Chains A and B, each alone.
Chain A
Amino acid sequence: MFYNHHFAVLIIVIPMFLALLTPIISLLKMEFAWYMAMLSATASFLISMSILYHILSTGDVILYHLGGWLPPIGIEYRIDCLNGFVLVVITFIALISTIYAKQSVAIEIKAEKTPAFYTVFMLFLLGLYGMIVTNDVFNLYVFLEITSLTGYALVAMGSDKRSLMASFNYLILGTIGATFILIGVGYLYMITGTLNMIDMSRLLVKYYDSNVMFTAFAFIITGLMLKVALYPLHFWLPSAYTYAPSAVSAVMAATSTKVAAYVMIRLFFTVFHIKIISQYIPVAEIVMIIASISVLMGSILAISQTDIKRMLAYSSIGQIGYIVLGATVLHSAALTGGILHILNHALMKCGLFFVAGSIFYKLGTTRINDLRNLSRIMPLQAGAFTLLALSMIGIPLTGGFVTKWYLIEGSILSGDWYLVPVILLSSLLTVIYFGRVINLMYFSDNSSHNNIKPIKAPLGMVVPTIIITFLSILFGIFATVPVEIASKAAIEIMGGSHW
């Protein structure tokens, strides 16, 4: 596959330039904005595939020095197995959501605002790519803020006026989280004098007992937990996902918290050595307990929701807990499960929000009670929803099963057996909240609706939903490829990537 040394930076530069060009080009014709977004998403996806292929075939880590300045002075982009994998997942979701966005944005956002929407959308994705590839903690903060700022704007573009308040709350909490990360970075810089992650982890060895490092760690982890939306710090998430435009909900639910979870894994294992989180500070245990609570509470709160998007948002809080669990069990099998769940959950949640968006597109509602007989009105969407729900529950032959298998294996092997009931109980709760919806969709026999004709959603929305559902099942049956990459990434990162 074609590979160029500059690909690592082009993945940021291409969306940035296209995003800046979009408002100008769409002066000619409004529709061009979507083509620009498509171009950027396709380019990013192809580049990330090429990067991952290069990493897997040659086995080396891609290092790119911006402007030719060598680290620790210059900013460095570093892509290893873990980054490469997450990057492919995120760029794929970006591509498929951009295809989906065309129809859904056309009805949810005013025509004159679409160029602005796509510009912000591309900047949002660019920030995510940046967070993934960068190897510089301050650069990470900047990209995090790019993603967050554009995220606030995207949420506020929802057609419902409550989206504004959701966006404002997201802004307040997101800024607190980002500022906490900034303080933590400041403390780390104080003691190490470097911002490069690899260099920092090498210099931190002397300070494993230092209180400054503890403080830095506490601030960074709290900030990240806000961004990941673990249970007690999740308040911004449900409203933001509920009132955002459908395409934005899909892409945000599938990417933003996952990238934050990736950053958590990266900081745990690359910057702070595994020794710190297991021996010096009981962070792994604390975060593991928080993640377990998050897994259970997310599922419990999802049961009582009346809006399908809000239900999916709460289920996101539970599911993100799995990824964090995988990172904190400190066993390579569990970490494999966590990394795999980045892929599987991104696919499932993206697909589920696609279905919710298609329902909103055709029926103008997302209330669960309005979904009666959906299997007859929109059979395809109801079918996709059911398959994805099965994957969320973790039925064998779906992606969700593979994740849970590895998580459970890891927690048994590392001796944290009490996580097994947590994971299984959460699966049961998932059955309850999805079962309720599926029951309404298929088995609420309402004879007055018998003569209802199926409504077809536009092809631009149906095809992405089918592709996502298909992949979600495919990665459950033929799980070897993602499992191999994820376990390679897990072993690589747990072995400590010191110089």
Chain B
Amino acid sequence: MMIEFIAGKYNYWMASVLMMIGFYAIISKHNLIKKIIGINIFQTSVFLFYISIAKISGGTAPIIWEEATKYDNPLPHVLILTAIVVSVSTTAVALALVIKIYKSFGSIEEDEIRSMSVEETANRAAK
């Protein structure tokens, strides 16, 4: 019963585990690049979840074919193609930001940048 619960729904388990790994990386890592990697894992888990729900047992690729009895649902694939584009753009924007952050702060460690920002605020207040 328990095994069936775990093995029968392993796609959901995998998606959840990946999601939590990504989430953990986002929350606990101070390095901005590692955060971006976390975000990517987080998003990918959702993509895998979508792709796995498109599968119909015994289904083939959704291309017209005489011997096919069932087709997999192509819609989630299409949706995820869009979502992947979004994810890639997010990563691109994030990496561009990290480059700019490194140029102006000289660091990509979140806590160092934070202390520099606090200093900056104090300096401006002193003026």
Q: Is B28's beta carbon under 8 Å from chain A?
A: no
* Residues from 78 to 104 in B contacting A, C-beta threshold 8 Å: 79, 82-83, 86, 89-90, 93-94, 97-98, 100-101, 104
A168 & B32 in contact (Cβ 8 Å cutoff) = yes
In the bound complex, how far is the Cα of B99 from the Cα of A476, in angstroms? 48
- Residue B20 at the A interface, CB < 8 A? no
How many Å lie between the Cα of A172 and that of B46 in the bound state?
16
Does any Cβ of B come within 8 Å of A367's Cβ?
yes
Residues of B within 8 A of A367 (CB): 124-125
8 Å CB contact of A161 from B94, B98, B104: B104
Asked whether any CB of chain A lies closer than 8 Å to the CB of B113, the reply is yes
Q: Which residue of B lies closest to A142 (CB)?
A: B82
Count class of interface residues, chain A: 20 to 34
Q: Is the CB of B104 within 8 A of A164?
A: yes
- Of A145, A167, A183, which one neighbours B49 at CB under 8 angstroms? A183
Contact A182 B105 (CB under 8 A): no
Q: Is A175 an interface residue (CB 8 A)?
A: yes
Which positions 356-393 of chain A face chain B at CB distance < 8 Å? 367
B79 touches A138 (CB 8 A): yes
Question: Is A323 in contact with chain B by the CB < 8 A criterion?
Answer: no
Complex Cα gap A175–B49 (Å): 17
- Contact status of A175 and B97, CB under 8 A, knowing A142-B82, A183-B49, A367-B125: no
Contact with B along A160-197 (1 / 0, CB 8 A): 01101101100110011011001100100110000000
**Cα–Cα, bound, A178→B90 (Å):** 11
Are B100 and A176 in contact (CB-based, < 8 A)? no
Q: A190 is contacted by which of B53, B90, B113 (Cβ under 8 Å)? A: B53
The residues in A between 391 and 450 inclusive whose CB is less than 8 angstroms from any CB of B are: none
B93 near A165 with CB under 8 A, answer no
Instruction: Indicate the member of B82, B90, B114 with the most A CB atoms within 10 Å.
Output: B90
8 Å CB contact of B113 from A152, A165, A172: A165
Residue of B nearest to A146 (CB): B86
Chain A residue contacts of B120, Cβ below 8 A: 161-162
B18 at the interface (CB under 8 A from A): no
Asked if B97 and A156 sit within 8 Å, CB to CB, the answer is yes
Q: How far is the CA of A161 from the CA of B82 in the complex (A)?
A: 32
Question: Is the CB of A306 closer than 8 A to any CB of chain B?
Answer: yes
CB contacts (< 8 Å) of A138 on chain B: these are 79, 82
Minimum Cβ distance to chain A for residue B119 (Å): 11
State which of B46, B93, B100 has its C-beta within 8 Å of the C-beta of A149: B93
**Nearest CB of chain A from residue B61's CB, rounded to whole Å:** 19
* Contacting pair B26 A176 (CB below 8 A): yes
A175 proximity list for chain B (CB < 8 A): 39, 42-43, 90
Contact flag A149-B125 (CB < 8 Å), given A176-B26, A179-B43, A186-B53: no
Listed from nearest, the 9 A-B pairs whose CB atoms lie closest are: A161-B104, A145-B86, A164-B101, A162-B117, A168-B97, A164-B100, A186-B50, A183-B46, A190-B53
Binding site for A on B (CB under 8 A): 23, 26, 32, 35, 39, 42-43, 46, 49-50, 53, 75-76, 79, 82-83, 86, 89-90, 93-94, 97-98, 100-101, 104-105, 113-114, 117, 120-121, 124-125
Instruction: With A161-B104, A176-B23 given, name 14 new contacts (CB 8 A).
Output: A142-B82, A145-B86, A149-B86, A161-B105, A161-B120, A162-B117, A162-B121, A164-B101, A171-B90, A175-B90, A176-B39, A182-B46, A182-B83, A186-B53
Q: Which positions in A face B, CB cutoff 8 Å?
A: 138, 141-142, 145, 149, 152-153, 156, 161-162, 164-165, 167-168, 171-172, 175-176, 178-179, 182-183, 186, 189-190, 306, 367
A-B CB contact pairs (8 Å), 23 listed: A138-B79, A138-B82, A142-B82, A149-B86, A149-B89, A149-B90, A156-B97, A164-B100, A164-B105, A165-B113, A167-B97, A168-B97, A171-B90, A171-B94, A175-B43, A176-B42, A178-B86, A179-B42, A183-B46, A186-B49, A186-B53, A189-B75, A190-B53
